Amino acid sequence: MQRALIIDDNEEFCGFLAQLLRGRFASMDVATATSCREGLARFTLFKPHCVFLDIQLADGNGLDLARTFRGRDPAVTIIVVTNHDLPEYRDAATQYGANHFLPKSSTSPSQIISLVEGIVG
């Protein structure tokens, strides 16, 4: 069973993305977190195959989490999903270990589904 973790301080976005993934990937187990602390705890216990990660969280920087996740599991797919669609954020996301960068404002649900299909096969 594939596992996805969504870490975003916007609970509505977490719910939307979780519903989207569960609706398309019936066998996927999806967990959510709304802070760095909660995200790190869930990552450790849940052992996701992919992580959707916002950059700015209430208690820290999502990119620091990306680096931590990459160090703990080199195989995990990290997808940064953010409102900050600037080249410097894209570059930083890559440097911190993200595999993909999705701007919230210009990424459609079908693009998210296509990306995840490529990840889970």
**pLDDT over 80 at 121, yes or no:** no
**pLDDT over 80 at 28, yes or no:** yes
Return the closest-CA partner of residue 79 out of 99, 97, 106, 103. 99
| CATH code for position 55 | 3.40.50.2300
Does this model's pTM top 0.75? My answer is yes
Range of the domain at 85: 3-120
CA distance 100 to 107: 12
Q: In total, how many domains does the chain have? A: 1
Mean pLDDT of the chain: 96
Within its chain, how far is the Cα of 29 from the centroid? 14
CA distance 80 to 86: 13
Output the CA–CA distances (angstroms, integers) from residue 55 to 2, 16, 28, 66, 107, in the order listed.
24, 18, 24, 9, 16
Percent of the chain scored above 70 by pLDDT? 100
70-87 pLDDT tens trace: 999 999 999 999 998 999
The DSSP code for 54 is -
